[in-house]
Structure 1
Amino acid sequence: MDLIIRNARLRSKEGLTDVGIVDGKIAAIEERIAASATQEIDARGRLVTESFVNTHLHLCKVYTLSMMDELALAAYHGDGMGKAMNAIELAARIKEKYDEEWILPNVRKALRLAARFGCTHIRAFADVDSKAKLVGVKALLKAREEFRGVVDVQVVAFPQDGVAREPGTLGLIRNAMELGANVVGGIPWIEFTEADS
């Protein structure tokens, strides 16, 4: 075996267990694995579990709180979703400053922390619209390649400001998919106008 984690606590079993790994895959789960391994780790009764999954992270915007003004911050801390549209519009100002030079280092920092704390699968949203263009998507695609094998990053081309409301967004979404984004996101309620009421 390549790795044996000894004395592990599993969610599905009472007592302590050994977990044997070969070629990055679990090959054995036994009370005591008799074989030895290239590397052995004594879990000392700590929990060994599947990795965590973050299904919704706006990775292109991580560590940007200091770039927002007080109005945007206050809107995001309001009650419920009643002020969500206002908060989105105020926070969208940050997209006018989008630059891969600061987005990519922020994304790398977030992905390193995710891996460190056991979150190895992330569905990462990148805003795609007339302000953000494809800057966030391109940064996330680079990071996805850099972290391949460590964190599985699924890139979502996300029309935060809507497709029908925002001219040109549909073409940008298509471009994002051609570049390698995995999924097209959506926010249907943002598409409504007063005429729809």
Structure 2
Amino acid sequence: PGEARRPHYAEPAQLQELAELMEQLALQLDAAANIEVQVVPQGLRILIKDDAQRFMFSRGSARLDAHFATLLQRLAGILAKVDNHLIISGHTDSTPYRGAVGGYNNWNLSGDRALRARNVLVEAGLPAATVLQVTAQADGMPLLADDPENGANRRIELLLLTRQAEGLYRELFGEAQARVEYRAEGARFSAPGS
């Protein structure tokens, strides 16, 4: 027989269960300070960040620290078991990128970091098609808006999408004949040819 279907997590209770698995994993890896998981209307928001002792990336580069590589690899094992799609975003603080050669700046840096996170997840077993988008946010969405230079604004975010959020995303970005049907029980995405 074929491969077992992966479940799609859409209900807040299901997403909370997944969040708790990720939090347990973080405790096992001594990474509780490096991950925040929150159920949001669009799905599950997974924020991966520095702590006082460990930086996710070498300053000014997309070179990933081994601790964070392990965290992403182990998260891939959880994420690969569900049928939800992901958006991965990279964020920097507002400190200007030093040594900018050829126009390389925080936009490039945040995009390179998000892409590095995506590559680690995929190399660790996350199906590549699970990732809908990798995006650079630079310093445009700080966690600490009143302190944009604070290192706490540097992070990678994974947004695990519900079908409704995915449908809206696909509709927004113009997938040919993508349709979202709105019903009392939620939205249903219909891909072309389905």
If the TM-score is normalised by the length of the shorter chain, which range does it land in?
Answer: 0.3 to 0.5
> TM-score with structure 2 length normalisation?
0.33
> TM-score with structure 1 length normalisation?
0.33
Higher RCO by CA contacts (8 Å cutoff, separation 6 or greater): 2
